[in-house]
Structure 1
């Protein structure tokens, strides 16, 4: 939801960073890899209880994840390989954050398993609709909005990391929102595909 409706407020910062990286002769894919590495370091920080640093790194990783796409559009250098890297690395960072939390709070492993299943469910619909639909908008594939998008994910991960006494409850709320998003996307997909 925030990715779709609040992006316009952070676009000036994203565009400025995009120009800065392009001036440094960096490619969008290099920034994608940088965002990935920072995200993995954040997950390691979670495991070793460097929670504030981990959250800062996670948000830097997320910011760079938006910057790489802006760079690709600005430089007219958007590629299918770049899109694949971007989506894959996003999921790996999320997986590593969940694994780090599960290792720290092993009494909540079932909660994290349910969260992972909800993410798989939602992303399967998201990616399938993107693959089967015509391109629509600035993204390199059809983008289905939802209640729980990547920014909401970062907010929930931050709350899970910084509030260890409530991480089980926060995880469950996050899982429910992702599940609702998946159903929302399924309903939209039915409308899209039955019109054809």
Structure 2
């Protein structure tokens, strides 16, 4: 919901840093894989109840997730890079709730529900992207991407906000997870309705 509005604010500084990284010989795929590994590390830290460390790793991971595209734009964007990016994103989206599920046993059912909702959201996102590619549709609302990005109530910005709140207020994980899982389900419904209209 907020990604396309935040993009114009964060892209200029990210692109400037990305150009410097590219000049230093750092590749976009290296940044993607490093960000994904750190994101998984955030989930591990959270699983051991090091919530503030998890928060720091989480934020660093998302910074790198933004920088990989900036490095790619400064060098060469590739379909394989887009593939790595989306796989890395969903590895991160699974790792953080899983960490909370391991941290406190009562969290586990809610973590599983949240992961299930992420799975549905991811499927709806990718299915729409496939249909949009077949129809030759393009959009730059979320920056230049390898996939067509269809908007919804729950996007990257909202997910990171929910994860930050979970790390800062871990005692409220079950409440935050429940609310955000519901937002994900609404997003799937939104995309399904949009797909029905756009691809009759």
Matched with 1:183 is: 189
Q: Is the 8 A contact 2:93 2:115 kept in 1?
A: no
Q: Give 1:108 deviation, angstroms.
A: 2.4
Matched with 1:136 is: 138
CA distance in 1, matches of 2:39, 2:116: 21
TM-score by length of 2: 0.91
Which secondary structure state, in structure 2, belongs to the residue aligned with residue 131 of structure 1? helix
CA distance in 1, matches of 2:54, 2:161: 13
Matched with 1:84 is: 83
Q: Is the 8 A contact 2:129 2:147 kept in 1?
A: yes
CA distance in 2, matches of 1:17, 1:47: 32
TM-score by length of 1: 0.93
Q: Give 1:49 deviation, angstroms.
A: 2.4
CA distance in 1, matches of 2:137, 2:54: 35
Gaps of 5+ in 1: none
Taking the TM superposition and a 5 Å limit, the aligned residue runs for 1:156-195 are: 156-194=162-200
For 1:59-82, what per-residue CA distance to the aligned partner results, in whole angstroms no more than 9, with x for missing partners? Answer: 11112111111221232x111111
Q: Which runs of 4+ in 1 moved over 4 A?
A: none
Which secondary structure state, in structure 2, belongs to the residue aligned with residue 21 of structure 1? helix
CA distance in 2, matches of 1:50, 1:109: 17
Q: Give 1:121 deviation, angstroms.
A: 1.1
Matched with 1:154 is: 160
Gaps of 5+ in 2: none
CA distance in 2, matches of 1:114, 1:47: 17
